[in-house]
Amino acid sequence: MEFMKKIFIIDDDQDIRDVMSYVLDSEGYNAQLFSSAREALEVLKLEKDLPRAIILDYLMPGMNGVEFLTALTNLSVEVKAIPIAFSSGLGQVEAPAGLNITFLSKPIDIEQLFDFLSDV
């Protein structure tokens, strides 16, 4: 069986998670869905098999995307090296230094998404 690249999708919008999961799964990725940044962060703290990439929404209730990225800077070097697609309908936003971040505008262009994923 071919190895499936695990991708975390963190977005509070159920429809976006469902569409992203469908698109990624149909292309052979293993999409793992999170409705909150805090939930994904807790999994990352314990996860031995880290995702190959993270697709992260900016605006979410509770912990937003920037707060999630800031929390990542306190985790292991391996976690900080995970490529992150930071998606926002507000254009490019300020993000902490020292992380591997690509900005994607919402709505996410599937071609841009796969360009990002082709390097992971």
Alpha-carbon span 40 to 32, nearest angstrom: 9
pLDDT of residue 16: 92
The pLDDT tens digits for 4-22 are 899 999 999 999 999 999 9
Residue whose pair of structure tokens reads 């900005």 in the numeric block: 103
Q: What is the pTM of this model?
A: 0.90
Structure confidence at residue 1 as a pLDDT band (50, 70, 90): very low
Q: List the beta bridge partners of residue 116.
A: none
Q: How many CA atoms lie within 13 A of 93 on its CB side?
A: 19
Alpha-carbon span 25 to 94, nearest angstrom: 30
pLDDT of residue 91: 66
Q: How many CA atoms lie within 13 A of 97 on its CB side?
A: 0
- Structural domains of the chain, ranges and CATH numbers in brackets: 6-114 (3.40.50.2300)
The pLDDT tens digits for 30-79 are 999 999 999 999 999 888 889 999 999 988 999 988 899 889 888 888 88
